[in-house]
C-alpha cells in the first residue's frame, strides 16, 4: 500500500494480500499453526512474530496481519492489534500501560467503568473515575504518578466532547499517556493519534464491524506502545479467530461510506428532534446550538451516527416512546446498519444509582439512538409517531 493515499483508498486497499491466485480479498488462513522447512527457519520466525506466520494465538497469521494493516492505516498509526472483543483491547491496554495507576475522565462505556472500579483494583492497580465535572482533579492525580488517562469522546451516552488535544498536553506534561476509546467517533470522523493521543482502542463490534454480526476489538498506536500491549494479548489469549478478522476486514472496506451516511442522517434527525415539543433536549455535537459544538468542530470532521434525546416526562414516558417505535430496534449496542434505541438508565448505566446518573448528565428520561442506514424520513416519521403516542404495535 503506497503511502500518501487518502482515507477511502486505505479502507479498500490497506493490508492487501495477493496470494499466488491473485485473490482480490485476503484469504482466510484457517489454521492454528504454520510449518517450516528447517529448524533454523522456525527459529528465525520466532524472533520475528510480526511479519512471519507462526501460531494464530500469537497473532502471527496472515489474515490477522492483513486486517491489522488496514486498522493501522485508518487511524494513521504505525501499528495495530486486532482482538476478540473491545473489552479485550481495553483490558490488555490497561494491564500493559496502567500499572502506575489509571484515571478515567468523564463518562465511559459501562464495561470500562466496571473493569476500573472492580477487577483492576483487585490486582492492586490504582484507579480513579472522575465525573465530567471533576476534571479539575486530574492535575493532582497525574502529579501523584497516575500514568494512564482514559477518555472517550463523544462520551456515552450524553455525547459530550472532551478536548483531546488539551487532554494530551495535560497528560504529557506529567509524563502520563492518553488512551482514547474512539468507538463512537470512528476514524472517519476523528483521529486521536493525530491530536497527540498515545493509544486508540475500539470496540470493532460497533462501527468498524458495522453490521451487528461480529465481536472484535482493536488497538492502534506507535510500534513501541503496540509492542507493550501485544505481549498481554498473547499471554491472555485474546486474539480473534481468522474468520472474524477476515469479516472485519471486509467491513472496513465500506467504513467511510457507511459512517458518512450515518453522520448525515443523524444530523437530519437531530435537527428535526430539536423542534419537537415532546423533546426537552437533543444531544448531538453537530448541532451549532450544542455547547460542545466548537470543540467538536475543531477535532472532528463529522459528528457521528449517535444521537441522544431527553424527553419531557418521566422514566415511564421514555419507556413508552421506546416501546412505541416500529423501525428502531429496542436493543443495546450501536454502529450497525439497523437503527437502535435504548434507555441508558435501564441498560448501560443501570448499575449507577439515580443520583450518580444525574451528576453524570444521564436523566431518567434519556433515550440513546444509534442511527443506521435506513431512510432519514422513515426514521423521523417513526420517532414522531412514538413521541406522540400514536403507536399501536407497529414493529416491523
Residue ranges binding ligand PLP (CB under 6 A): 85-87, 109, 111-112, 152, 156, 181, 183-184, 203, 205-206, 215, 217
Active site residue 57: yes
Shortest separation between residue 43's beta carbon and ligand PLP, angstroms: 36
Shortest separation between residue 394's beta carbon and ligand PLP, angstroms: 28
- What is d(CA 66, CA 17) in angstroms, rounded to the nearest whole number? 7
CB atoms within 10 A of CB 261: 16
Q: What is the DSSP string of 147-171?
A: -EEEEESSPTTT-----HHHHHHHH
DSSP classification of residue 118? I
- What is d(CA 322, CA 225) in angstroms, rounded to the nearest whole number? 42
Q: Which triple of cell numbers denotes residue 180?
A: 482514547
DSSP classification of residue 119? I
Q: Which of 55, 57, 128, 194 is catalytic?
A: 57
Q: Report yes or no: 317 and 311 within 8 Å, Cβ to Cβ.
A: yes
Q: Which is nearer to ligand PLP, 206 or 234 (CB)?
A: 206
Q: Which is nearer to ligand PLP, 11 or 306 (CB)?
A: 306
Q: Which is nearer to ligand PLP, 62 or 84 (CB)?
A: 84
Q: Which is nearer to ligand PLP, 267 or 334 (CB)?
A: 334
Shortest separation between residue 184's beta carbon and ligand PLP, angstroms: 6
- 3-class DSSP state of 369: strand
Shortest separation between residue 112's beta carbon and ligand PLP, angstroms: 6
Shortest separation between residue 392's beta carbon and ligand PLP, angstroms: 33
Q: Which of 29, 58, 109, 146 is catalytic?
A: 109
Q: Which triple of cell numbers denotes residue 8?
A: 477511502
Q: Which of 177, 191, 206, 258 is catalytic?
A: 206
Active site residue 284: no
- What is d(CA 395, CA 374) in angstroms, rounded to the nearest whole number? 15
**Parallel, antiparallel, or unpaired: how do β-strands 177-181 and 148-152 relate?**
parallel
Q: Which is nearer to ligand PLP, 60 or 370 (CB)?
A: 370
Active site residue 173: no
Q: Which triple of cell numbers denotes residue 390?
A: 400514536
Q: Which of 181, 198, 292, 382 is catalytic?
A: 181
CA 354 to centroid of chain Cα atoms: 26
| Residue with smallest beta-carbon separation from ligand PLP | 86
Q: Which is nearer to ligand PLP, 60 or 156 (CB)?
A: 156
Active site residue 109: yes
DSSP classification of residue 241? P
Shortest separation between residue 261's beta carbon and ligand PLP, angstroms: 20
Q: What is the DSSP string of 325-346?
A: -SSSEE-S---SSS-EEE-TTT
Q: Which are the catalytic amino acids?
A: 57, 109, 181, 206
Amino acid at each position: 500500500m503506497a503511502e500518501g493515499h487518502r482515507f477511502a483508498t486505505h479502507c479498500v486497499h490497506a493490508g492487501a494480500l495477493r496470494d499466488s491466485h491473485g485473490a482480490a480479498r485476503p484469504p482466510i488462513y484457517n489454521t492454528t499453526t504454520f510449518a517450516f522447512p528447517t529448524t533454523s527457519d522456525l527459529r528465525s520466525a520466532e524472533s520475528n512474530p510480526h511479519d512471519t506466520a507462526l501460531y494464530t494465538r500469537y497473532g502471527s497469521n496472515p489474515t490477522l496481519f492483513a486486517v491489522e494493516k488496514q486498522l493501522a492505516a485508518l487511524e494513521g498509526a504505525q501499528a495495530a492489534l486486532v482482538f476478540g472483543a473491545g473489552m479485550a483491547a481495553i483490558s490488555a491496554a490497561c494491564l500493559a500501560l496502567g500499572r502506575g495507576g489509571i484515571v478515567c475522565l468523564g463518562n465511559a462505556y459501562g464495561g470500562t467503568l466496571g473493569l476500573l472500579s472492580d477487577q483492576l483494583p483487585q490486582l492492586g492497580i490504582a484507579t480513579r473515575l472522575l465525573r465530567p465535572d471533576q476534571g479539575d482533579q486530574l492535575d493532582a492525580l497525574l502529579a501523584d504518578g497516575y500514568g494512564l488517562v482514559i477518555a472517550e469522546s463523544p462520551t456515552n451516552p450524553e455525547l459530550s466532547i472532551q478536548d483531546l488535544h488539551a487532554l494530551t498536553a495535560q497528560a504529557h506534561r506529567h509524563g502520563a499517556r492518553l488512551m482514547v476509546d474512539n468507538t463512537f467517533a470512528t476514524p472517519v470522523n476523528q483521529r486521536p493519534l493525530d491530536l497527540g493521543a498515545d493509544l486508540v482502542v475500539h470496540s470493532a463490534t460497533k462501527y468498524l464491524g458495522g453490521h451487528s454480526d461480529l465481536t472484535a476489538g482493536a488497538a492502534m498506536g506507535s510500534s513501541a506502545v503496540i509492542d507493550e500491549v501485544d505481549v498481554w494479548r498473547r499471554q491472555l489469549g485474546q486474539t480473534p479467530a481468522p474468520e472474524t478478522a477476515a469479516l472485519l476486514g471486509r467491513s472496513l472496506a465500506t467504513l467511510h461510506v457507511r459512517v458518512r451516511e450515518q453522520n448525515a442522517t443523524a444530523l437530519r434527525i437531530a435537527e428535526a428532534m430539536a423542534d419537537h415539543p415532546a423533546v426537552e433536549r437533543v444531544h448531538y455535537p453537530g448541532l451549532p446550538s450544542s455547547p460542545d459544538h466548537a470543540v467538536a468542530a475543531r477535532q472532528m470532521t463529522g459528528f457521528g451516527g449517535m444521537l441522544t434525546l431527553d424527553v419531557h416526562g418521566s422514566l415511564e414516558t421514555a419507556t413508552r416512546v421506546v416501546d412505541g417505535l416500529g423501525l428502531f430496534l429496542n436493543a443495546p449496542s450501536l454502529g450497525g446498519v439497523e437503527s437502535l434505541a435504548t434507555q441508558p438508565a435501564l441498560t448501560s448505566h443501570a448499575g449507577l444509582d439515580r443520583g450518580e446518573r444525574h451528576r453524570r448528565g444521564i436523566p431518567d428520561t434519556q433515550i440513546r439512538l444509534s442511527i443506521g442506514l435506513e431512510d432519514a424520513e422513515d426514521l423521523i416519521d417513526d420517532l414522531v409517531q412514538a413521541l406522540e403516542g400514536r403507536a399501536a404495535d407497529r414493529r416491523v
